[in-house]
Amino acid sequence: MEDGLQRFSLSGRCALITGGSRGIGRAVALAMAAAGAKVAVCARHLDACEAVAAEITARGGQAIAIAGNVGRAEDAVAIIDGAVDGLGALDILVNNAATNPHFGPLVDAEDAAVDRIFQVNVQGPLRLVGAAVRAWMGEHGGSIINMASVGGISPEPMIGAYNASKAALINLTRTLAHELGASGIRVNAIAPGLVETDFARVLIETPAIHDQIVGQTALHRHGQPDEVAGAAVFLACDAASYITGSVLVVDGGWTA
Ligand SMILES: NC(=O)c1ccc[n+]([C@@H]2O[C@H](COP(=O)([O-])OP(=O)(O)OC[C@H]3O[C@@H](n4cnc5c(N)ncnc54)[C@H](OP(=O)(O)O)[C@@H]3O)[C@@H](O)[C@H]2O)c1
């Protein structure tokens, strides 16, 4: 009889994680490597990616580092080709990198900030999916995981353009699931709540904001990056073989 836990393994799989050098992406890279995957860690700063790759290697895993800016059209193919060439395949793509240069009322958001948010958080993931399908997944299948946010489902004030980008990411996750399902490619999103990273530092370190969020959260605390990573490993593995087009909320019950 097949060992039931085999379906939770990523052994022999090759995964690319954008924004893998710190925060949630780093935790996903470490968790996928621990589950047996060969991992490509991508972010703009190569040294930070190399540090995570070295951490994985020191733990007995296999990892490479790739420098790239997901907000630049010219980087998309290079990032995907770097992963396919360096790993030998690309079974898992985690679109995790994101940005939010605007904090304040939505009507005050500058065009340049909104453009940047949509370039990095929406167009970037979409370009990487296209490049991944053309380079590998279209022929071999795969699992794509888009890191959205509960803000894309139930938006809070002050980060409206970012929330709109995450709503767009969730929407295109569903369309891609329909369009790519016949090629054996599953496409899902994860919607984290408040997680302790550099990205969320202002929210966590501003007591008025933090207390309000934690007060509405069933578990009465914010999350840690490795509490999101397990959801990514699950969606990537064969145990999730009939899950596509879904949004897995990982928010401690904030939106429950
Ligand atoms: N933390 C939260 O509370 C929270 C909640 C909901 C959703 N999320 C989502 O979770 C994901 C990860 O967030 P995080 O909190 O872990 O952020 P983080 O700690 O700030 O890490 C961001 C990562 O993305 C990379 N990055 C940023 N811009 C990039 C670009 N243009 N191209 C390539 N890489 C880029 C960064 O490295 P470089 O600077 O070297 O590029 C870094 O590795 C994001 O999609 C975010 O929207 C976070």
CA-proximal residue: ligand 1, atom 37 (nearest): 43
Question: How many whole angstroms from 240 Cα to the centroid of ligand 1?
Answer: 25
4 confidence band (pLDDT: 50, 70, 90): confident
Instruction: Determine the topology of domain 4-250 in CATH.
Output: Rossmann fold (3.40.50)
**What's the Cα-to-Cα distance from 134 to each of 51, 61, 66, rounded to whole Å?**
30, 27, 19
Measured from CB, residues less than 6 Å from any atom of ligand 1 are: 18-19, 21-25, 43-45, 48, 69-71, 96-99, 120, 147, 149, 192, 194-195, 197-200
CA-proximal residue: ligand 1, atom 17 (nearest): 199
Task: State yes or no: pLDDT of 2 exceeds 70.
Answer: no
Residue 17 host element (H or E): strand 14-18
Task: Evaluate whether 225 touches 195 at the Cβ level (below 8 Å).
Answer: yes
Alpha helices in 59-206 (DSSP H): 73-87, 111-118, 124-132, 138-140, 160-180, 201-205
- Quick: pLDDT tens for 187-245: 999 999 999 999 999 999 999 999 999 999 999 999 999 999 999 999 999 999 999 99
Question: How many whole angstroms from 3 Cα to the centroid of ligand 1?
Answer: 36
Q: 38-42, 48-52, 175-179, 200-204: lowest mean pLDDT where?
A: 200-204
CA-proximal residue: ligand 1, atom 30 (nearest): 69
User: CA dihedral in degrees (203, 206, 207, 211; nearest 10)?
Assistant: -10
Q: Which atom of ligand 1 is nearest to the CA of 95?
A: 45
Q: How many CB atoms lie within 10 A of CB 214?
A: 17
Question: How many whole angstroms from 25 Cα to the centroid of ligand 1?
Answer: 7
Task: State yes or no: pLDDT of 1 exceeds 80.
Answer: no
Question: How many whole angstroms from 199 Cα to the centroid of ligand 1?
Answer: 6
Q: Which of 14, 167, 183, 159 lies closest to 94, judged by CA? A: 14
- Quick: pLDDT tens for 76-123: 999 999 999 999 999 999 999 999 999 999 999 999 999 999 999 999
- Quick: pLDDT tens for 139-172: 999 999 999 999 999 998 999 999 999 999 999 9
Q: Among 24, 26, 99, 205, which is best to mutate for testing ligand 1, by the most ligand atoms less than 8 A from CB?
A: 24
CA-proximal residue: ligand 1, atom 19 (nearest): 23
Q: Supply the residues annotated as catalytic.
A: 162
Q: Which atom of ligand 1 is nearest to the CA of 26?
A: 43
Q: Report the DSSP beta bridge partners of residue 40.
A: 16, 64
